[in-house]
A = this chain, B = another copy of it.
Amino acid sequence: MENNIMLLCDIGHTSYHFFDGKNDYKKGVNTFIPEIIQEKVYYICVNVKILKRLKKLKNWINIEPYIDKTQFYQTMGIDRIIASLSINNGVIIDAGSAITVDIIKDNIFNGGFIYPGMIAMNKCFKSISSNLNYNFNFSIDLYNLPKNSQNSISYGYLKGLYLEVISYNLPIILTGGDALKFKTIFKNATVDEMLIFKGMKILIEANK
């Protein structure tokens, strides 16, 4: 499976995220010139503008058509689908601007749900009342009911998510920009920032 020449790229709204088999690095979507790359690049892309540009380049290969989407749903993000392919059993929590939670049992996608990311939820509480304008306390004890405002919103944000995720009794895999924050809550979780690339590799190998 290990192939260091294979260049993988996950393109979002703000950056190209590359993985060369050893290291990963990011390039801004507004400054990076994809034409300069000579090697073969396998990619996924949710950025419509960039996608148009990449379609003209022969060495950039979109792997989205490789996916058998029947077990997923129509509007599900390609990044969630690919991440789901990377594990056999587990709950994947992708903690970014949104938090997506996907449950995979015996290689089957069981479904998933979407929860607001940390920043969006903070703004949400603030929009309700300036009295609720606190950062979340991720060190909160979720087994004791809070008795102050900061903990009241932190508990509101985190406790239900926690109960739902642990209810599956499966390994928990954290990925995304806020993965380490949520590691405080899901102490036994594995943090894996390379999950998307693992899924991409599996898909490419299966389609060779």
Contacts and interface: CB of A to CB of B under 8 A. Distances in A.
Nearest to A160: B160
A169 interface: no
Copies of this chain, how many?
Answer: 2
Given A75-B148, A146-B112, A98 B163 contact: no
A145 B114 contact: no
Nearest to A145: B111
Interface in A50-97: 72-76, 97
A167 B163 contact: yes
Contacts of A162: 160
Contacts of A117: 128
Interface stretch (A18-26, A150-158, A173-181, A193-201): A150-158
A111 B146 contact: yes
A76 B111 CA distance: 38
A164 interface: yes
Nearest to A98: B128
A202 interface: no
A144 interface: yes
Contacts of A163: 160, 163-164, 167
Contacts of A103: 145
Nearest to A99: B156
A58 to B, nearest CB: 31
B159 A113 contact: yes
A98 B126 CA distance: 11
A115 interface: yes
Contacts of A121: 116, 124
A149 B114 CA distance: 8
A187 interface: no
